[in-house]
């Protein structure tokens, strides 16, 4: 007999396993894990359950361990099922009877009685989670004194940020969409409404882009017809920003499928750019550029509030691999600048090796400090003139992703 909702819970279990055991992202795991889940609501539910488990896993495990005489192994299936069950009760407000009906069948042939007993014991206690998620040990140690503040930004999934094609229409779009704006060209909306159903999407008046992700292009300013290279450009948010700001844009990326999205975004917004599919470590331009924006490949730990799997799947190996690629891309980008040209480097990472260490190591260009004038209220440059954002900033206004941004000029 089919149990309504069981496929979604089984998919959530598979998503979590893919992250913790195989090191995949939720997006990478989704195709396989969700293949037997029918209907978008149940697919979204599976993603939501997995996301909440990964966001609150340390705290969920502490509850589980408090109700077992002998600790369950970290990779025990019963622990994962209990995490799923507790996340639904504590974060998604799913009734306990529905959680039991769709959770225990996941342990067919396994310790169902144990899981039922632990879940019942905990729910009778009137349990709750802390206001702020407890970070796993590894990122807590890496982020040092920033860790506590970062954790505060992870308690809730982020709102929806959009970037406007025409910044002069900010107030109009904020009113039309029922949102708020933290700076010109930006509108922040609550979660829930499908993006494609919002006013202005079909006519290309805006695109989805986190506020922090919009800052690197803003720091370059207006183009006035000058040539800019958007390195690692797909899926196109920064390309569209630069085109809308009057730059003559060359958008380069190695990924053909992601470039298809970029072209579709340009067509929808009626913005123009030269699109090039190439490996930036092998490609050479025919002429130098007035500006280059390098939003480099990175571990993406700065997106942990929307992709909590990075809390569990990123470690020293991935950080070192990305840092090596970033250094090579920075060196090549510096060669492609025309005299007087500006280079902006950005990563959506919270790791010093991908941010501050890269900025300190780049030689041959003149560091140009980022100024307060180009930033939204509540953010300020570092003492070195770089910009470091993290999910703990602007929490009262919905927060933002973690980024590192630096700027240089060629003599």
pLDDT-derived band at 376, boundaries 50, 70, 90: very high
* Residues 227 and 113 grouped into a single domain: no
* Residues 230 and 108 grouped into a single domain: no
What pLDDT, on a 0 to 100 scale, did the predictor assign at position 256?
92
* Residues 116 and 260 grouped into a single domain: no
Q: What is the pTM of this model?
A: 0.94
* Residues 15 and 112 grouped into a single domain: yes
What pLDDT, on a 0 to 100 scale, did the predictor assign at position 66?
96
pLDDT tens, residue by residue, 280-316: 999 999 999 999 999 999 999 999 999 999 999 999 9
Pair 112, 104: CB distance under 8 Å? yes
Euclidean distance between CA atoms 351 and 357, whole angstroms = 9
* Residues 255 and 107 grouped into a single domain: no
Last residue of a domain, one of 71, 94, 125: 125
How many domains, in total, are found in the chain? Answer: 2
What pLDDT, on a 0 to 100 scale, did the predictor assign at position 191?
84
Last residue of a domain, one of 73, 108, 125: 125
Look at residue 107 and tell me if it is in a domain. Answer: yes
Catalytic positions are 348
* Residues 349 and 246 grouped into a single domain: yes
Phi, then psi, of 339 in degrees rounded to 5 = -55, 135
Last residue of a domain, one of 125, 155, 173: 125
83: CATH: 1.10.940.10
Look at residue 13 and tell me if it is in a domain. Answer: yes
* Mean of all residue pLDDT scores within the chain: 96
* Residues 217 and 88 grouped into a single domain: no
Look at residue 94 and tell me if it is in a domain. Answer: yes
Mean pLDDT of 389-403: 95
Euclidean distance between CA atoms 196 and 157, whole angstroms = 20
* Residues 220 and 119 grouped into a single domain: no
pLDDT tens, residue by residue, 311-337: 999 999 999 999 999 999 999 999 999
Look at residue 224 and tell me if it is in a domain. Answer: yes
pLDDT tens, residue by residue, 152-205: 999 988 999 999 999 999 999 999 999 999 999 999 999 877 899 999 999 999
What pLDDT, on a 0 to 100 scale, did the predictor assign at position 156?
83
pLDDT tens, residue by residue, 377-393: 999 999 999 999 999 99
Lowest-confidence segment of 109-118, 172-181, 208-217 by average pLDDT: 109-118
* Residues 85 and 233 grouped into a single domain: no
pLDDT tens, residue by residue, 26-58: 999 999 999 999 999 999 999 999 999 999 999
Token look-up 């993603």 returns 47
pLDDT tens, residue by residue, 89-102: 999 999 999 999 99
> Which structural domain range is residue 377 located in?
213-409
Look at residue 131 and tell me if it is in a domain. Answer: no
* Residues 295 and 393 grouped into a single domain: yes
Asked if residue 110 has pLDDT above 90, the reply is: no
Look at residue 149 and tell me if it is in a domain. Answer: no
Look at residue 184 and tell me if it is in a domain. Answer: no
Look at residue 102 and tell me if it is in a domain. Answer: yes
Euclidean distance between CA atoms 262 and 205, whole angstroms = 15
CA 23 to chain centre: 16
* Residues 121 and 217 grouped into a single domain: no
325: CATH: 3.40.50.150
pLDDT-derived band at 24, boundaries 50, 70, 90: very high
b/e sequence 34-66, b meaning 16+ C-beta within 10 Å: beebeeeebbebbbbbbbbbbbbbbbbbebbee
* Residues 110 and 232 grouped into a single domain: no
């Amino acid at each position: 007999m089919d149990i309504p909702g069981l496929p979604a819970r089984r998919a959530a279990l598979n998503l979590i396993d893919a992250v913790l055991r195989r090191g995949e992202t939720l997006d990478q795991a989704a195709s396989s894990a969700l293949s037997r889940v029918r209907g978008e609501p149940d697919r979204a539910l599976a993603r939501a359950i997995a996301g909440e488990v990964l966001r609150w896993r340390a705290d969920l495990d502490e509850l589980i361990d408090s109700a077992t005489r002998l600790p369950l192994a970290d990779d025990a299936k019963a622990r994962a099922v209990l995490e799923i069950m507790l996340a639904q009760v504590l974060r998604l407000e799913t009734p306990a009877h529905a959680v039991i009906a769709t959770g225990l069948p996941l342990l067919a042939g396994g310790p169902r009685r144990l899981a039922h007993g632990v879940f019942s014991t905990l729910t009778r206690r009137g349990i709750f989670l802390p206001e702020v998620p407890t970070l796993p040990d590894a990122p807590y140690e890496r982020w040092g004194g920033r860790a506590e503040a970062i954790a505060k930004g992870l308690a809730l999934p982020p709102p929806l940020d959009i970037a406007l094609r025409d910044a002069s229409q900010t107030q109009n779009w904020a009113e039309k969409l029922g949102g708020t704006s933290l700076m010109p060209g930006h509108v922040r909306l609550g979660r829930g409404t499908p993006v494609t159903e919002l006013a202005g999407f079909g006519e290309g008046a805006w695109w989805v882009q986190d506020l922090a992700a919009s800052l690197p292009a803003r720091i370059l300013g207006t183009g006035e017809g000058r040539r800019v290279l958007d390195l690692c450009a797909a899926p196109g948010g920064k390309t569209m920003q630069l085109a809308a700001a009057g730059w003559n844009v060359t958008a380069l990326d190695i990924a053909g499928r992601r470039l298809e999205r970029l072209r579709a975004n340009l067509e929808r917004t009626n913005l123009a750019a030269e699109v090039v599919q190439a490996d930036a470590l092998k490609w050479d331009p025919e002429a130098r550029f007035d500006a280059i924006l390098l939003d480099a490949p990175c571990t993406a730990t700065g997106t942990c509030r929307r992709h909590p799997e990075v809390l569990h799947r990123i470690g020293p190996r991935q950080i070192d691999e990305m840092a090596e690629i970033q250094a090579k891309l920075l060196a090549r980008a510096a060669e492609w600048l025309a005299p007087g040209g500006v280079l902006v480097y950005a990563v959506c990472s919270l790791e010093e090796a991908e941010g501050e260490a890269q900025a300190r190591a780049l030689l041959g260009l003149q560091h140009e400090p980022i100024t307060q004038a180009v930033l939204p209220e509540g953010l300020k440059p570092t003492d070195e003139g770089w910009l470091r954002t993290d999910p703990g900033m602007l929490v009262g206004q919905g927060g933002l992703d973690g980024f590192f941004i630096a700027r240089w000029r060629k003599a």
